[in-house]
Amino acid sequence: MHWDMHWDGFTAMERDVRALVADPRWALLPPLGRAQAIAQRALVTPDGSRWLFGALGRWYRLDRVDGRWHLSPPPLHPAVRAAARPQPPGVVVPHLLVPGGPDFAYDRGSTQGFVGPDVPREITERVRALLLAHRGLPREAFPLPEGPFREVFADDVTGAVAAVWGTIMWAAYAPAFDGNEVLLSMFGEFLARPLPGDDWVRWLPAGSLAALVDLYAERVRAGAQEAGLRLAGLMAETATVLRADARFRPRADALLAMAEPLLARPWLDHHALPGGAVREAWLARCPPHLAAAALPETAPGEHFRHSFYDLAEALGYTASRGMDPRSVAASLLAADVAGVCGAYEPSWAAPGASGTAEVVTALYPWIDDELRQALYVTLADPSHPLRGCWPRGGELPPALVPPDRGTAAAVLGSAYATGLAWCRLTGIAAPPAGFAVCSALVQCLIHQRDDPRPEAASNGHPRDPEESGWLFETRNTDISSLPPL
């Protein structure tokens, strides 16, 4: 068979699979027929790697060591892509990797962080309007229940303010924000203490759906169903505003799908209240085409894999510089793990080996053998070339500096999302001062800021020092205060 000199196997097969899944007849095929159709479109590259484009509109690579298919962005080198050929018959495609149809409709939004590219003013002003309209609700009718929000807000803050904040944090792809981000500064008067971070960035933890849902559930359990429904409606209103920004849209849509049905059918969660399963009832309402947005809640391991995939994709610019984006992503993951957990010592080396070894062991099942090797050698061998990807003196090495502001924001967002994902998966507390790689990426953006400095007015709204000025104070975070691994 003659192959055109411009043949790109990965582009061709992705286009073919997308056309198959978009065909109305795809839903009528039996599961075995679908699996066979995907298997016929698998690829093999010159190094013997096998690839297929499958569920959730992403690429998978067969691990020759454990025999499993792992999420993996495809190679970017033109010669490798041109040399890819259809895989001979015999590939077995697991059921979970076969596209169902709705999963291909998932809108992934943007992986950009909120550092550099501000949240658009039209969004912040609409959120401000919601906050102003609900901040005066009586505290006795909308109390702040015990839980994570009590650690964030002052004692006199109501559940309505927490509902707006919690929606923003849960919907954010990667909740690292400019220290002067208007979306945060409007909450300054409500917070109990400065947000973690420094004058440049607020490194915020991932939002908790359980805490958000409990604002509603606590009111309903207390017999104040109207108040509970008003909070659920406020979450839906806030999500509707946020979805105009691609960095919020996927998860905002998922939250809308979970909260909005209550406004028409207030009884929906009554069956879940006695057993404390309201969060699960909300997740059950998340439709198939938005299921990927809820992965942090339902499948932390899968969420880590997808976040790492995003990071490797965002690092695609390194391919033109002679580097492998996947290996670079593994090196940067290693830098952050070492920065949080300390120097690497193999788990077999001695009793009480480092927490880094335990974290690495926990991450191994979620990455393929090639990435395991890259992660291991980067951590274990200070002289390995991949160690050269690590930040030095708080800055990225010149070879890794992104080519433009948008790319830098995308790498920052995906790196922070990956950091939060592996911390969630392993039970490690995310560092309040930020991850090493993300902090270095900020240095690529702070000289290109498009917002006023903290001492300046924001969006035409002068800041009252008594109201929110302390929000911009530097918080000195002692890493040693983190809980033991």
**Tens digit of each residue's pLDDT (9 = 90 or more) over 423-476:** 999 999 999 999 999 999 999 998 765 544 444 333 333 333 333 333 333 223
pLDDT at 64: 82
Q: Which of 130, 110, 116 is nearest to 177 (CA)?
A: 116
What pLDDT, on the 0 to 100 scale, is given for residue 349?
A: 42
Q: How high is the mean pLDDT of the chain? A: 88
Which residue carries 């439709």 as its tokens? 287
Task: Assess whether 235 and 318 both reside in one domain.
Answer: no
Residue 15 belongs to a domain = yes
Are residues 76 and 134 both part of a single domain?
no
Residue 483 pLDDT more than 50?
no
Residue 481 has pLDDT above 50, yes or no: no
Residue 217 pLDDT grade (very low, low, confident, very high; cuts 50, 70, 90):
very high
Domain termination residue (choose one: 57, 79, 104): 104
Band (pLDDT 50/70/90 cuts) for residue 34 is: very high
Q: What is the mean pLDDT of residues 223-227?
A: 95
Note whether 289 and 191 are same-domain residues: yes
Same domain, 155 and 69: no
User: CA 47, 57, 91 angle in degrees (round to 5)?
Assistant: 45
How many structural domains is the chain composed of? 3
Q: Are 16 and 41 in contact (CB under 8 A)?
A: yes
Instruction: Answer for the pair 416, 315: CB distance below 8 angstroms, yes or no.
Output: no
Give the span between the Cα atoms of 249 and 290, in whole angstroms.
11
Q: Give yes or no: residues 129 and 278 share one domain.
A: yes
Answer yes or no: is pLDDT of 401 > 80.
yes
- Quick: pLDDT tens for 159-179: 999 999 999 999 999 999 998
Q: Does one domain contain both 285 and 317?
A: no
Report, as an integer, the average pLDDT of 214-237.
96
Percent of the chain clearing pLDDT 70 (strictly above): 89
Last residue of some domain: 251, 276, 297?
Answer: 297
Report the C-alpha gap between 146 and 144 in whole angstroms: 7
Counting every residue, how long is the chain? 485
Q: Is 461 helix (H, G, I), strand (E, B) or coil?
A: strand
Same domain, 254 and 328: no
pLDDT for the residue 362: 94
pLDDT interval class at 5 (50, 70, 90) = low
> Is 86 inside any structural domain?
yes
Give the mean pLDDT of 362-384. Answer: 93
Structural domain contains residue 54: yes
Are residues 138 and 88 part of one domain?
Answer: no
200 and 178 fall within a common domain: yes
Residue tagged 């120097």 (tokens): 343
Over residues 99-134, the pLDDT tens digits come to: 988 888 889 999 999 998 899 999 999 999 999 999
Strands 85-86 and 201-203 come out as unpaired
Q: What is the dihedral of CA 392, 393, 394, 397, to 10 degrees?
A: -30
User: What is the Cα–Cα distance from 377 to 11, expressed in whole angstroms?
Assistant: 32
pLDDT of residue 198: 82
- Mean pLDDT over residues 187-213, rounded? 92
Q: Do 202 and 327 fall into the same domain?
A: no
Tokens of 446: 């702070």
Rounded Cα distance between 356 and 135, Å, is 44
474 found inside a domain: no
The tokens for 307 are 């976040």
pLDDT, average across residues 379-407: 95
Q: What is the pLDDT of residue 344?
A: 67
Mean pLDDT, range 49-57, rounded to an integer: 93
Of 114 and 477, the one with more pLDDT: 114
Confidence at 247, pLDDT banded by 50, 70, 90: very high
Residue in 477, 376, 356, 365 with CA at minimum distance from that of residue 428: 356
Is pLDDT of 50 > 80? Answer: yes
Give the C-alpha separation, 366 to 239, whole Å: 31
Q: What is the pLDDT of residue 300?
A: 96
- The reply to whether 241 falls in a domain is yes
The reply to whether 88 and 74 lie within a common domain is: yes
Which of 297, 321, 336 is at the close of a domain?
Answer: 297
My answer on whether 364 and 421 are in the same domain is yes
In a domain, 116, yes or no: no
In terms of Cα–Cα distance, which of 385, 265, 373 is closest to 323?
385
Reported as a pLDDT band with limits 50, 70 and 90, residue 395 is: very high
Nearest to 52 by CA among 30, 31, 37, 32: 37
Domain boundaries, position 30: 9-104
Rounded to whole angstroms, the Cα distance separating 112 from 407 reads: 8
The model's pTM is 0.89
Mean pLDDT score, 79-84: 92
Q: Is the pLDDT of residue 67 over 90?
A: no
